[in-house]
Chain A
Amino acid sequence: MAVGLDKIQPEKITQKEHFVVEGMDISGHWNRMFEQRVIWDYDVEQLERVTALPGGESLNWCYGCGKCTTVCPVDIVGDYSPRKIHRKTQTGIDLFTSPDLWLCTTCMNCLRVCPKEVNMIQIMPAVREQAVLVGNVPPELQKAFEDTAKHGNPLGQPQRKRADWVKKAGTPAPILKDLKRPVDILWYVGSYPSYHPRGIDAACAAARIFNALGVDFGILGVEEKDDGDSQRLAGEKGLFEMLAEQNIAAFNKYEWNRMVVTGPHEFNAFKNEYPKLGFQRPIAHYTRFLVEHLDKLKPMLKKPIDLKVTFHDPCYLGRHNGEYDAPRELLRAISGIELVEMGRCRENGYCCGGGGGGMWLDSFTKEHTQMRLSERRVREAVEYGADVLAVCCPFEVSRFEDAAKSTGNDKLIVRDILELLDESMRG
């Protein structure tokens, strides 16, 4: 039986044999009608549990227009959207224990189109936090939380080896503790560029580019911790606060003018979340920073890359922070590249599936969708004839490379913009 049918009250269903409306007799066999629908047929307790939470209030503002459903990246590969969440919760489904709780990637495309400003970026973390507090966490996500708490990074790699990638760069990346002098740029490297084999490739490329440009920079090395923001969005607010306190202490320990960040999630964290904890300093994502140095960088990009390249807008650089142009300007600066746009680009860019904790819910999400979001995205890149899928978020290189393999599109090359610049620069 459909949800809610048991709540229909038979005495409210009436059939009038004779019925006169405004002097007109409209009696007939067809005029069986329900009285005005009483929406309180449903027990709204479940909805009220969500809206009672700080951050959960706006779920109640939904009026069911469904605009979010058309843009939700999860609905495109499954059966899920904010409007559906609202309706299900309204009809008595418990969001706190539902698998739906873990599918939102906080990509923000729903909020972009929502006329009522129902904010899933606040609702989902608020409900997830309650689930985490009572121990209801998918095991793979729990592992990422534990690894982050123990080792300062969600990959479970040793904290002591956070700067080991530098050995592979073939160029210096000085550590502030050893440098013992102020620097112009504090480069926050991030967990995936520090540890993930494909992330390290981007970190090495960045170090070579910064040095070629003569940037006076330093890194934190073992004093750097994961930013924790994706863990917060996945419901682990305490872990976020702990990491933020540790990072802020490390940031404040040294003298620097501006911070450059490899990843959009970290950029978003330091720009929009850390200020709530008292840290507010000039921050730039590497794409904007390099665009500022384009006059000097462009003549160094000697080797043409004669390929058709498409660019995947990271949700946390584009929609969350309004930066769409800097990555494209960098790609256009490389001669030979033919830049093609996918249908879902810029403000309506598709999500790779890695945000809001999705990075650590791969198997879980796969069980509840028809295909991974990253798989949908690489198919789109191939549909538009791209040879290269260019990215500028450290979550994406491995996600899309895996997706290219799992969908049989092995020929699609996935590269961070840093790698493409470095390749062109090195000739």
Chain B
Amino acid sequence: MNIVVLIKQVPNLTDELDINSAGTDLDHDALQYVLNEWDEHALEEAVLAKEAAGGAVTVIGVDTTGELDGALHTALAKGADKAAKITGDYPRGADSHTQARLLADAIKGLSPDVVMTGVQAADDRDGQIGPMIAAHLDLPYVGVVTGVEVKGGQAFVRKEYAGGLMAEFEVALPVVIGVQAAHQPPRYAPVSKIRQMAKTAKIDEIAGGEAAGSGSTVRRMFKPESASHAEMWEGSPEEVAEKIAALIAEKGLLKRDA
């Protein structure tokens, strides 16, 4: 079984995010990148599927940050067998239409049985990479998936619906799957293994075509503007307690028994 996992890096949300001077994007110079959390789950689910049914996992992404190698080495340390990156002149955090086109072209030649990717990513909240690639390659797509089992030339896929409902799909291969969560927490890659991969592993480089573009542009990016502020009360616990009691009385939030 040939599994292909599509990954991308997103801004590290632990850091404070700054807007660029044009006010249309994040200030990418002030950012650190981490692997998209949902892609980490896609990779885990792929490695679990390989461990269960055999095969090989290939990890591939569009290198828009110049730092994708680190993420690919980590994926290899976690159990992926091959890694590839698509290179070209792309803006950091290139839009999902562009990435979908590039990835679809690249994975055609890999003849995958299963393509897995994160169901969404924190940077664009688009959730379209999976569906668009399925459309480009004319393959079925199932999204918001929390478990994949491959047997007898078919994939059995568990999908999460709203309201706590689950459904199980039977899909013919090849298939594109948008992973919400792996059925186990993503494994840890020891740094010594990652460093070993960085020294020894070969990353295939694929020259990508032109950026397709999404047909839309960001007019303005801004931080949420707060409408009102919380008031912080200082003082001893007794003083604060008195203020709370006074406020409750003033607003009539508690009724005394007659």
Give A residues with C-beta under 8 Å from B.
132-133, 135, 137, 139, 142, 145-146, 149-151, 156-161, 236-239, 241-242
| Interface pairs (28), CB distance under 8 Å | A133-B190, A133-B192, A133-B193, A139-B185, A142-B188, A145-B191, A146-B188, A149-B191, A150-B14, A150-B34, A156-B14, A158-B12, A158-B16, A159-B32, A236-B190, A236-B191, A236-B192, A237-B192, A238-B190, A238-B191, A238-B193, A238-B194, A239-B190, A239-B191, A241-B191, A241-B192, A241-B195, A242-B195
- Taken residue by residue from 1 to 26, chain B's Cβ proximity to chain A (1 for < 8 Å, 0 otherwise) reads as 00000000000101110000000000
User: B187 touching A135 by the CB < 8 A rule?
Assistant: yes
User: B192 touching A145 by the CB < 8 A rule?
Assistant: no
- Complex Cα spacing A161 to B15, Å: 8
What's the minimum C-beta distance from A163 to chain B, rounded to whole angstroms?
A: 14
Q: Which 6 residue pairs across A and B have the least CB separation, nearest first?
A: A238-B192, A238-B191, A239-B191, A158-B15, A142-B188, A158-B14
Q: Which secondary structure dominates where chain B touches chain A? A: loop
> Which residues from chain B contact A236 at a C-beta distance below 8 Å?
190-192
> Which residues from chain A contact B185 at a C-beta distance below 8 Å?
139
- Complex Cα spacing A238 to B188, Å: 13
> Which residues from chain B contact A239 at a C-beta distance below 8 Å?
190-192
Residue of B nearest to A146 (CB): B188
Residue of B nearest to A156 (CB): B14
What's the minimum C-beta distance from B36 to chain A, rounded to whole angstroms?
A: 13
- Complex Cα spacing A154 to B105, Å: 40
User: B191 touching A160 by the CB < 8 A rule?
Assistant: no
- Asked whether A145 and B188 contact (CB < 8 A) given A158-B16, A242-B195, the answer is yes
- Complex Cα spacing A137 to B191, Å: 14
- Complex Cα spacing A216 to B32, Å: 33
> Which residues from chain B contact A238 at a C-beta distance below 8 Å?
190-195
- Complex Cα spacing A135 to B190, Å: 8
Across the interface, B15 reaches (CB within 8 A) one of A160, A237, A242, namely A160
Total count of chain B residues near the partner, CB < 8 A: 15
> Which residues from chain B contact A132 at a C-beta distance below 8 Å?
188, 190
- Complex Cα spacing A268 to B183, Å: 41
Across the interface, B16 reaches (CB within 8 A) one of A137, A145, A151, A160, namely A160
Residue of B nearest to A149 (CB): B191
| In the complex, chain B residues 17-62 whose Cβ is within 8 Å of any chain A Cβ | 32, 34
- Taken residue by residue from 180 to 217, chain B's Cβ proximity to chain A (1 for < 8 Å, 0 otherwise) reads as 00000101101111110000000000000000000000
User: A157 touching B14 by the CB < 8 A rule?
Assistant: yes
> Which residues from chain B contact A149 at a C-beta distance below 8 Å?
191
Residue of B nearest to A143 (CB): B188
> Which residues from chain A contact B34 at a C-beta distance below 8 Å?
150
What's the minimum C-beta distance from B14 to chain A, rounded to whole angstroms?
A: 5
- Complex Cα spacing A38 to B14, Å: 60
- Complex Cα spacing A399 to B101, Å: 52
- Taken residue by residue from 221 to 248, chain B's Cβ proximity to chain A (1 for < 8 Å, 0 otherwise) reads as 0000000000000000000000000000
Residue of B nearest to A235 (CB): B190
- Complex Cα spacing A368 to B127, Å: 43
Given contacts A149-B191, A158-B12, 9 further A-B contacts (CB under 8 A): A132-B190, A135-B188, A137-B188, A151-B12, A157-B14, A158-B14, A158-B16, A238-B194, A242-B195
- Asked whether A151 and B14 contact (CB < 8 A) given A137-B188, A139-B185, the answer is yes
What's the minimum C-beta distance from B240 to chain A, rounded to whole angstroms?
A: 18
What's the minimum C-beta distance from A345 to chain B, rounded to whole angstroms?
A: 35
> Which residues from chain B contact A161 at a C-beta distance below 8 Å?
16
- Complex Cα spacing A146 to B185, Å: 13
> Which residues from chain B contact A133 at a C-beta distance below 8 Å?
190, 192-193
> Which residues from chain A contact B193 at a C-beta distance below 8 Å?
133, 238
